[in-house]
Amino acid sequence: MRIFGVPQLVAPGELAAHPTLPSFLYFPTDGERQAGSVALPWNSAPDAVAGVFARDQGALVPARQVASAKSWLSHAGVDRTAALLPWGSDDGVHFSPVEASSRLLAHLRDAWNHAHADGDDARRLERQAIVLTVPASFDEEARELTVQAARDAGFEHLTLLEEPLAALYAWIASHRQALATTLADGAVVLVCDVGGGTTDFSLIRASADEGELVFERIAIGEHLLLGGDNLDLALAVQIERRLTGGEDRRLTLTQRQALRRKCSAAKERLLSEPDLQHVRLTILGGGRGVVGGGLSTDLTRSEVEVALTEGFLPLTDAADLPARDRRAGLRELGLPFESEPAITRHLAAFLTRAGQQHQSGMVAPDAVLFNGGFFAPATARERVLAALERWSGRRPAILENERPEAAVAIGAAFYAKLRHNPQASRRLLIRAGSARAYYIGVDSDASDRTPPHPAAPGRTSPDLAAVCVLSRGTQEGTALTLDREFTVVTNQPAAFTLYSSSERGDQPNDLVAFEPADLPHRHAPLVTALRFGKRSRRVPLAVRLSAVFTETGTLELWCESTTTDHRWRLAFNLRGAEQDPLDVAVDDETAGADQVIVTDEALTEALRLIRDTFAGGKEPGGLVGDLENALGHGKHAWPLAAIRRMADALIEVMDGRTRSVGHEARWLNLAGFCMRPGFGSPADEWRVSELRKVYAAGLAHPKDVQCQVEWLVLWQRVGAGFTAGQQRELAQRIIGQLGAGQKKLRVNPQIEREGWRLLGS
């Protein structure tokens, strides 16, 4: 087995092969691209470069660097499909976490094809069966986004493998002849995987079966944004205080990024070179208003060792666990790092929970396999072993990989060989399957109702009831349909709340009442629009849920009608899933709206008023005032849940806008108000697609000035929900109507003003 040396830029105009590709992106300036200093053999003027140069140059120009893309994929508090990286940068190119991950994979693809394909399509990397590794603690959304990033890079033949398992596969590959003599029957292996941005724990049990050792993954830890980056940040904060004299002055963002990179490099040297006692750090001046001159100081070996051992790996008691109500800590890089930096405390909590699964005390592993750059220093490994010995009274054995920096890649390749080579012993495949059991929330009185209704997306509550749809340990390629029926309403958005647990052993169809102390993890809402029969009819429909744990290693959920062949795929709403989708304010005008309570009776009356206006005989002039009276609040205080329900009603009666000029103007104005800004709530993509039908049909009263104005205002409010191509087409259409770039057209001033506002929105 050979490690591919990845061609990448290591300096301006300098290409070299390295065994790893640092996961950084750098956006070069136009000058750098024109000068050819970032040219690659397969792209002479790339808009982004990856690897060593991206890491080093980006540290000097942080507004042009994307780092920690994998950690961003797991950040549920942001829209991971939105172009928000580099975080905090207001200019230049921006990528979404998905696009950034895809670009890193695309570099590997292009580098491989340049070195090996030689014009042979069958040898191209994207034509191969690819094993892509992810943290074991990645939730379903992060796994799905990882698959999306890989497919955006052209990889279709894809399997996900958890990184701790890959590390163990690498050890198995090099110890196949000595497995039975190294591990006893029933031995439990702890894989302790700490990289730059994440901490991942897994337990694997070895068992004797017909004279051979077989492996089963029995527990995984929570997703922890905690790793070497946090140590670098802690050292940088300490050095910054020293450089600024502890005063209120701070280094600039560029200086802090450069300092963090220098601290990281110095830390690695101090922990790997025994005779080195200190490293000189020099930070260039930052200009007016900040620390202006060049600053220098030393980072010493003792400072690094104290930060590592006392801050991140303290010798704690077994009962010294992180607070259960964890809150996000340092957000220097925009990511919600753990507030508790002590990895040993998180490890104690993991081993305690794993023991509780089997009604026993804290698990005492028999062996430990370390993985990740954090454990490159022997000091870090020894500290964890000392903690384990302190808790259990015995010291576990160490399993060592010959090439720890490449262990995950080697293990993934060995796993692929086991899966695809008939001659290989498939008994060496670690039995793992789904790391979690999955549940769909139902109304808390679901046991008294047949069929039950899915619970609306929202925060977990003490009286949570849910139906298990997939059990923990389910193997890839498994498909099943639940016996239970649910009631949904057709031709309108439907949302389901997905939960998961890495500890429970519930089986499909089990109705589970969760205790307040044992609430599961809540995922982003699952949404769909159940198109059925006549589009205008909203009727109750009995459905069953089916689940597929795919060969790739992701979860698919479907709604299936019990009376017809109709089925609908449920998709994650990933726009800031950390927030309650029913409580998020739409824009600045509604910043306090999430505090407003609208009763079901008031909302029912508001929906009746809308239907009476556009499907009945009510005049439209007083509709907004009537809605404010019905809801008990001015329109700018209406919460998101209410206005989206009104948007659904307006879509239902959209044909009523054609009845008169007044009806059309009022419908356009109210639809835009209730749908602004075109995203932010489950099923907004469906709602925008329905409004696009109005866009395609055009105005029913095209000569009326007020209708033309309201038409422009509608798309100002909703256009952010269009795709990029739809936005470009809209802009071209409005430019043509305004006569921009041509002979001046005579346009009504109000129409012209709103047209330019639309183009600028």
In the block, residue with structure tokens 């009263």:
701
Please report which confidence band the pLDDT of residue 579 belongs to, taking 50, 70 and 90 as the band edges.
very low
d(CA 720, CA 726): 10
509 in any annotated domain: yes
Is residue 155 a part of any domain in this protein? no
- pLDDT at site 230: 92
In a domain, 88, yes or no: yes
pLDDT (0 to 100) of residue 503: 86
Q: Which of 99, 128, 157 is the last residue of a domain?
A: 128
Is residue 532 domain-shared with residue 624, that is, in the same domain?
no
In a domain, 730, yes or no: yes
Domain count, the chain: 4
Query: CA-CA distances (angstroms) from residue 725 to 158, 186, 256, 546, 722?
Result: 29, 58, 38, 34, 8
Q: Please check whether residues 238 and 304 belong to one and the same domain.
A: yes
Residue finishing a domain among 296, 312, 328: 312
What single-letter DSSP state applies at residue 520? Answer: P
> Could you tell me if 498 and 598 lie in one domain?
no
- pLDDT for res 761: 72
- For residues 559 and 602, membership in a common domain is answered with no
- Quick check: is 179 in a domain? no
What pLDDT was estimated at residue 527?
Answer: 77
Give the domain extent around 303: 228-312
Please tell me whether residues 593 and 488 are part of one structural domain. Answer: no
* pLDDT, position 161: 94
617 shares its domain with 756: yes
Question: CB-based burial of residue 67 (10 Å sphere; 0-12 exposed, 13-18 middle, 19+ buried)?
Answer: buried
pLDDT tens per residue across span 521-575: 888 888 777 777 765 567 888 999 999 998 888 899 998 999 888 888 887 766 5
- Cβ-in-10-Å burial (0-12, 13-18, 19+) of 267 comes to buried
Answer whether 0.85 is exceeded by the pTM. Answer: no
CATH code where residue 307 lies:
3.90.640.10
Q: Identify whether residues 560 and 696 lie together within a single domain.
A: no
Q: Is the pLDDT of residue 601 over 50?
A: yes
Q: Are 111 and 8 in contact (CB under 8 A)?
A: yes
Q: Same domain for 708 and 596?
A: yes
Query: Do 530 and 489 sit in the same domain of this protein?
Result: yes
Q: Which of 18, 24, 15, 14 is nearest to 6 (CA)?
A: 18
- Under 8 Å CB-to-CB from 696, ≥6 apart: which residues? none
Same domain, 701 and 597: yes
Are residues 562 and 699 located together in one domain of the fold?
Answer: no
pLDDT in tens, 106-125: 999 999 999 999 889 999 99
Final residue in a domain of this structure, among 77, 99, 128: 128
Same domain? For 558 and 639 the reply is: no
In whole angstroms, give the CA distance from residue 16 to residue 8.
6
**Residue 171: inside a domain:** no
pLDDT of 688: 92
pLDDT at position 205 is 96
Residue 187 lies in a domain: no
Residue 139's pLDDT band (boundaries 50, 70, 90)? confident
Q: Is the residue at 697 inside a domain? A: yes
Mean pLDDT of 650-660: 94
Does the pLDDT value for residue 697 go beyond 60?
yes
